[in-house]
Each structure stands twice: as structure tokens, then as C-alpha cells.
């Protein structure tokens, strides 16, 4: 009589423990703060110390520096997307939604984090490209609504807003982020007031698109 073939028991995918998830979140949060303050070369041991975890926990979650930088940038982009979605859902005024989105984007330190994607970093990693696409889509949606409502001047593009936010929220050379914070939202609001329709002047050149930025 032929012996029955044993059927291997189906393995259930194990879900990360709650404490493991909290540790990962603490590492990403600490890395975001320290990358903003000191740049991408800050020692990982210092990030572990600020996060309140051991060095081994950092390396268990992120095998190298590039993986951690990518996770930080993606998390910032995703929080910015959620801020845009919340602004559209909670604000009846389309231009007010754009204002809220721009100010939150600046608070997320996008201008300080995005330059970390250097030539040695895989800027075409699928996770990073997906996060960028989500961010671009929400910016376009917020601007399209404000434009359709007749509140946004018609001669500006997504790229114009991205460049202005990055430049205005980047601290001057030799100036730490916290000391420049008191000027940030004041100058952003001056910029936003200049986006309102009707436009008081004609802008030179053409509206800057995301494709223009990618070609740069």
C-alpha cells in the first residue's frame, strides 16, 4: 500500500510585532530630524541613540544608509500627500487648501531632505518613484481645483510651486533650520498671495512643469 504523501502545513505570514513597528517609526523620526539638522552623513549610531534603540535594531530594519534615507524621504512625501488629501476633504475653499498644503510641505522639510538623493543614491528605486508620483498627483489636484475655482492665476505650474517651496523653506547658508523657522511661513504666505488670481503682472517665460524639473 502506497504511503500517503505528507502535505506541508500552510505557513501564515508573520506580522511585525507592535513594539517592532514602534521602533521602526522611532528610527525614521529620529533620522528625519538628524538628517535635517546635520545632513545625510550623520552617524547611524547617533540616530540610534536619539531614537532610544540599540545599534542592532537600526541595522535590522535598515541594512545600509541608503535604505534609511530612502525610507525617510518616502515617509515625508507620504505625509505630505496625506496633508493634501486632508486639506481637500476639510476645506471648502480651494485656494485655502493650496495654502494649507504648501505650509505643511514646508514643515515636513522637503527642501532639506530631497537633495539627499544624490548620484550615489538609487533615485529610481520603485518605492521612491511611487512616493514621488503620489506627491505630484496630489499637488496637481490641489492646484487644478484652485484654478477651476478662478482663484489661482493660470500661468503657474506644479513645478513653479515645487521650486518656490523648496527655495523658501531651505535655510540660508550657515543658518540652522530652527533659527530660520520664524521667517518661513511669513515668506511662504507672501509667495502664496502672489499666486492668487487675478494676476497683477505677467510672468516671464512659461509655467514650469514637473517634466521640466525632471529634465533639470
User: pLDDT digit string (tens) for 31-52?
Assistant: 988 888 887 788 999 999 999 9
Angstrom distances, CA of residue 77 to CA of 5, 111, 144, 186, 194:
51, 11, 20, 23, 25
| Greater model confidence, 175 or 107 | 107
Per-residue pLDDT for 67 more than 60? yes
Give pLDDT, residue 173: 41
Give pLDDT, residue 45: 93
CA 199 – CA 50 distance, rounded (Å): 47
Give pLDDT, residue 210: 80
Give pLDDT, residue 212: 82
Under the banding of pLDDT at 50, 70 and 90, the label for residue 132 is confident
pTM of the entire structure?
0.77
Per-residue pLDDT for 7 more than 80? no
Under the banding of pLDDT at 50, 70 and 90, the label for residue 15 is low
Per-residue pLDDT for 191 more than 50? yes
* 121 φ, ψ (degrees, to nearest 5): -105, 145
Per-residue pLDDT for 144 more than 90? yes
Contacts of 137 (CB under 8 A, 6+ apart): none
Radius of gyration, alpha carbons of the chain? 22
Per-residue pLDDT for 119 more than 50? no
| Greater model confidence, 8 or 143 | 143
Give pLDDT, residue 187: 87
Angstrom distances, CA of residue 7 to CA of 1, 10, 13, 20, 38:
18, 9, 18, 33, 55
Of 111, 96, 106, 114, which Cα lies nearest the Cα of 181?
106
Half-sphere exposure of 200 (CA within 13 A, CB side): 4
Average pLDDT, the chain: 82
Of 16, 17, 49, which Cα lies nearest the Cα of 31?
49
| Contact (Cβ atoms closer than 8 angstroms) between residue 77 and residue 135 | yes
Amino acid at each position: 500500500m502506497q504511503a500517503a504523501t505528507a502535505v506541508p502545513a500552510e505557513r501564515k505570514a508573520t506580522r511585525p510585532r507592535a513594539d517592532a513597528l514602534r521602533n521602526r517609526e522611532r528610527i525614521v523620526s529620529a533620522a528625519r530630524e538628524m538628517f535635517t539638522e546635520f545632513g545625510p552623513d550623520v552617524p547611524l549610531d547617533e540616530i540610534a541613540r536619539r531614537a532610544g534603540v540599540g545599534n542592532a535594531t537600526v541595522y535590522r530594519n535598515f541594512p545600509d544608509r541608503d535604505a534609511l534615507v530612502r525610507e525617510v524621504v518616502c515617509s515625508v512625501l507620504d505625509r505630505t500627500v496625506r496633508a493634501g488629501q486632508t486639506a481637500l476633504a476639510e476645506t471648502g475653499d480651494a485656494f485655502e487648501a493650496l495654502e494649507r498644503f504648501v505650509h505643511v510641505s514646508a514643515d515636513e522639510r522637503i527642501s532639506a531632505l530631497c537633495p539627499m538623493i544624490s548620484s550615489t543614491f538609487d533615485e529610481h528605486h520603485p518605492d521612491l518613484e511611487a512616493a514621488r508620483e503620489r506627491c505630484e498627483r496630489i499637488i496637481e489636484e490641489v492646484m487644478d481645483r484652485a484654478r477651476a475655482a478662478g482663484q489661482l492665476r493660470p500661468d503657474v505650474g506644479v513645478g513653479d510651486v515645487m521650486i518656490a517651496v523648496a527655495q523658501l523653506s531651505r535655510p540660508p547658508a550657515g543658518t540652522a533650520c530652527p533659527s530660520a523657522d520664524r521667517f518661513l511661513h511669513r515668506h511662504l504666505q507672501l509667495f502664496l498671495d502672489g499666486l492668487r488670481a487675478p494676476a497683477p503682472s505677467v510672468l516671464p517665460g512659461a509655467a514650469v512643469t514637473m517634466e521640466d524639473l525632471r529634465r533639470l
